[in-house]
């Protein structure tokens, strides 16, 4: 906000602030936090804006609230928003936001959900979704639902979790939460990540193995890694070839960790039995995606990141961020 003449009063500053909340897919953000406590103008936008419409729609807004990795705000778009002074993103990382450009321009960037703060609901949402996909694959829930509606009784045989082996690619805060349910269902749990030690795995209740052993021995391989240059494409054609033909792959982390072209080929050829996917290279998943035509996939639209409880927690933190910035005491600063 730029002012000339006499210093503005706090009330005048607040009246000048305009906040745009983007990607409110379910049109409920206004109900999940006390936005009125800010005393500023807040506008909510659903998914209907196209990339071309964003500059005009957001003209005059000095504050953006972004749902992480939905709409991309890269330099070309940000350059068309000259009034921008603050961006608040859910999460403390946002790969679809050009943070370096904003830092160089002097735009403050804040986030939500720092480790140890407000993380329980996100953990629960992601882990529950991973297990929903595992159950759907083992018990053939979507396939049998479609079959029974078509008049077919017992189109195939489900498999039991008891006695099966869960392989965890990543045993951090999320991966470790998979162990308890697996043990309760009578599953053996093995794990691998680049820096995982046998001692750390044992503490979490899993057995540390090599990457090749993880691929070869898992009845279901569940991915729980952060996307980075080191993990991008970590599961490709060679890795899928090492998996059992009866094995399932579940990804609730990030799409590009798995080579999607290689995965489609493996699923189509039967080199693995199926996949449960919540994340994709491009989101929303394009209407012409080959994944949509495969019978041995269970697909969900990046639900692991969101739940009513989780969204409420994130938006409450967004309001905290905004209030702190308006006081001149920004918190959870990314840039």
pLDDT for position 48: 83
Assigned domain for 3 exists: no
Note whether 180 and 61 are same-domain residues.
no
Edge to edge, the sheet with strand 248-251 lists: 207-208, 188-192, 165-169, 220-223, 248-251, 274-277, 297-299
- Measured torsion, CA atoms of residues 59, 63, 68, 73, in degrees rounded to the nearest 10: 40
Q: Quick check: 40 pLDDT over 60?
A: yes
3-state secondary structure of 186: coil
Which residue of the set 70, 108, 254, 332 is catalytic? 254
For 48-74, the pLDDT digits (tens) are 888 899 999 999 999 999 998 789 999
- Prediction pTM value: 0.85
**Does 268 participate in catalysis according to the annotation?**
no
The verdict on 70 and 145 lying in the same domain is: no
228 and 312 together in one domain: no
Long-range residue pairs from 38-43, CB within 8 A, at least 24 positions apart, any chain: 38/14, 38/319, 38/322, 38/323, 38/326, 39/14, 40/14, 40/15, 40/322, 40/326, 41/15, 41/17, 43/18, 43/19
In a domain, 4, yes or no: no
Say if CB 169 and CB 224 are below 8 A apart: yes
Q: What is the CATH number of the domain that holds 59?
A: 3.40.50.720
Q: What is the pLDDT of residue 3?
A: 27
**Residue 64 Ramachandran class (φ > 0 left, ψ -120 to 50 alpha, else beta):** beta
Residue 1 lies in a domain: no
Is 334 among the domain residues? no
The stretch 124-145 carries a mean pLDDT of 96
Give the confidence band of 120 by pLDDT, cuts at 50, 70, 90.
low
Asked whether residue 131 is domain-assigned, the answer is yes
Residue 38 lies in a domain: yes
Residue 113 structure tokens: 């959900």
pLDDT for the residue 310:
85
225 pLDDT more than 80: yes
- If asked whether residues 92 and 190 sit together in one domain, one would say no
pLDDT of residue 98: 96
What is the pLDDT of the chain when averaged over all its residues? Answer: 92
Regarding whether 234 and 139 lie in a shared domain, the answer is yes
- How many structural domains are present in the chain? 2
The alpha carbon of 62 is separated from its chain's Cα centroid by a whole number of angstroms, namely 26
Please pick, among 128, 144, 283, 316, the residue that the annotation labels catalytic. 283
Active site residue 302: yes
The average pLDDT across 87-108 equals: 94
pLDDT digits (tens, 9 = 90+) for 248-297: 999 999 999 999 999 999 999 999 999 999 999 998 899 999 999 999 99
Q: Which domain holds residue 93?
A: 10-111+308-326
Q: What are the helix and strand counts (H, E) for the chain?
A: 13, 12
User: For the stretch 257-296, what's the b/e string if a residue is b when 16 or more beta carbons lie within 10 angstroms of its beta carbon?
Assistant: bbbbebbbebbeeebbbbbbbbbbeeeebeeebebeeeee
Marked catalytic residue, from 68, 70, 108, 302: 302
Length of the chain in terms of residues written: 335
**CA torsion sign, 68 to 71 to 77 to 81?**
negative
What pLDDT score was predicted for residue 121? 53
d(CA 159, CA 138): 5
Tell me the residue ranges of DSSP E strands in 12-164.
18-21, 41-44, 63-66, 86-89, 108-110
Residue 283 lies in a domain: yes
């Amino acid at each position: 906000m730029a002012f000339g003449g006499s210093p503005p009063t706090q009330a005048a500053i607040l009246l000048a602030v305009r906040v745009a909340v983007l990607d409110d897919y379910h049109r409920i953000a206004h109900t999940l936090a006390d936005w009125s406590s800010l005393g500023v103008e807040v506008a909510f936008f659903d998914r209907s804006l196209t990339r071309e419409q964003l500059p005009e729609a957001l003209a005059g807004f000095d504050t953006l609230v972004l749902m992480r990795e939905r709409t991309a705000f890269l330099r070309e778009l940000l350059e068309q928003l000259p009034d921008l002074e603050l961006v608040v993103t859910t999460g403390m990382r946002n790969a679809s936001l050009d943070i370096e450009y904003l830092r160089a321009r002097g735009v403050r960037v804040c986030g939500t959900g720092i480790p140890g703060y407000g993380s329980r609901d996100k953990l629960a949402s992601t882990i529950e979704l991973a297990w929903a996909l595992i159950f759907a694959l083992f018990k053939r829930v979507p396939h049998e639902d479609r079959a029974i509606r078509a008049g077919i009784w017992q189109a195939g045989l489900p498999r039991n979790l008891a006695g099966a082996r869960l392989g965890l690619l990543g045993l951090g805060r999320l991966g470790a939460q998979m162990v308890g349910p697996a043990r309760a269902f009578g599953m053996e749990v093995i794990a691998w990540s680049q820096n995982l030690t046998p001692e750390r795995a044992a503490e979490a209740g899993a057995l540390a193995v090599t990457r090749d052993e993880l691929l070869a021995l898992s009845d279901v391989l569940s991915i729980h890694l952060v996307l980075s240059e080191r993990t991008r494409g970590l599961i490709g054609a060679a890795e899928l070839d090492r998996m059992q033909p009866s094995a399932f792959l579940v990804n609730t982390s990030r799409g590009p960790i798995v080579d999607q072209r290689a995965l489609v080929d493996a699923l189509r050829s039967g080199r693995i039995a199926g996949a449960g996917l919540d994340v994709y290279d491009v989101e929303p998943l394009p209407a012409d995606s080959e994944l949509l035509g495969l019978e041995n996939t269970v697909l969900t639209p990046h639900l692991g990141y969101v739940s009513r409880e989780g969204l409420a927690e994130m938006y409450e933190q967004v309001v905290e961020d905004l209030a702190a910035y308006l006081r001149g005491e920004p918190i959870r600063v990314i840039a």
